Structure 1
Amino acid sequence: MSDERTSCPRCGTVVGARQEYCVECGVRLPGPARFGPLPAELRSLRLRIVGLAAVACAGAATAIGIASDSSGDARVITATGGSVTAPTQAVEPRTRLVRWPRARSGWTIVLTSVPKSKGRDKAVAIAQRARTRRLQRVGVLDSSTFASLRPGYWMTFTGRYQSEAHATGSLRRARAVVKGARVQRIEP
C-alpha cells in the first residue's frame, strides 16, 4: 500500500489515497487513484478498435472465400433410363350440397346468411367456393324452417356437430374461407 496522502477538495482535511469519502465533511472524493486507471485509455482503446477491425476483415475474407465457387468445371449428372407413370385416380369433389335434416338438432358453422330477397343462388355460390377451399359437408338451408333461426334467410353452413365445443374447434378453418363465420345452434 502506498502512503500517498491528498486533501479533501471541500474542507482541505488530509485524506488517504484510497479513501472514498472525507471523514470530516462527508463529500465523496474524486480521482482515479481510488479505483486505478480509467478503463478506456486512449491508446489501449485505439489498439482494441484496430484489433477488432482486423478480426472482422479476416472473417469477412474467409466467408467470401468459402462462399465463392471457384471450380469452373462443374459436372452435370443426368439420370437416364426408363420411368414408370404412376396411375392417378381422379378425385372429384362432391357437387351436391349437404342438406340439414329437419328433425335433427345440433351445432354448425354458419358461413353466411343471405336474405331471401337476394336469392338462393348467392348462398349456393358461397357454398361452392367453400367446397373448392376444402371445407367439408357444406350446404344451404332455409332459416324459416328451423325454430332456432331468424326466418327469411338462406344460410350457408359447414358441418354438423354434437356440441358447441366441437363446432368451435372447426371455426378457425371456416374463418380462413369466410371471415364472418360463426357457430350456431340449429333446432327444428
Structure 2
Amino acid sequence: MSQPRSILEDPVSSPPIEVSDPARPADSACPRCGAPLRGDQEWCLNCGTAVTTRVAGASGWRTPMAILASLIAIALVGLVAAFLAVSNDPDEVAQAPPPTASQQAAPTAPPAAPTPEPDPITPETIPPATDGDQPPATDDDPPTAGSDTSAVGTWPAGKSAWTVVMLSSPSRAEADKKAKELQSGGTDVGVLKSDEFKSLRAGYFVVFSGEYDTEGAAEKALTSLRSNAPEAYVRRVTPR
C-alpha cells in the first residue's frame, strides 16, 4: 500500500519559464569595447562610453573670438589711416571749437563807470601848478626884511602880450624874493597877480620877464633865460 503524498510536494517538477518584458529593450553590446549591455543601460560600465545618452559638446568659442579679433583689426587699420592722413596734410590747421550757447549767453559784468577827469588846463590859462590846489593869492605875506620891492617891475595896465614866466607861487614873499635874485643877476623881471588876468589861473604871484608881441619872440628869449630859471616857460597874458 502506497503512502499518501504531501500536499506541499509538486507532483510534477518543471523548469522555470522566462517571460520577456515587452517594455524592456533588447540587450546589446558596447560599440567601443564590445562588452555586453542591458537594453536599458545607457553607459558602458567597462569603458565608460555613452551608448544611448547624447553628450552635448561645449559651445564653440573660436568663432566669437575670430569675429572680435577681426573687428579690432579693422578699427586699428582705420585709426592708422586717419593718423597718416592728418600727419601728411601740411595745410590742416586745428580749429577752435565754436562757443556753446551757455558761453554765448553768459552775462558779463557791466563796465565800471569811468572816473571823471578834471577839466584839462591848457598852458594858455594857468601858470605852472604846484603840489595840491593853492588858495587864492593874497598880499598878506609881508616883504622880507630889507627887500626893495619898488625896484621890481609890474605888468603894464591893459596890455596883452606874450611873456616868459620865471616862477609861479601862491606866496608874494617867495615871488618877490625870486624876482630880486633874478634882477640882481641882470635879468629884467616883474611880478604880477594872476587874479587880474583871464588867461592865468587865479591864486598865484607870477615872476615874468618881458612883453613880446609874438609867441616866437618869447620862445627865442626863453632860450637864454632858462639858464637862470630851468623851469621857465612862455605864456600869453591877457587882462580881464
- The TM-score with structure 1 as length reference comes to 0.46
Query: Which structure exhibits the higher relative contact order, with contacts defined as CA atoms closer than 8 Å and separated by 6 or more residues?
Result: 1
Higher share of residues assigned helix: 1
- The TM-score with structure 2 as length reference comes to 0.37
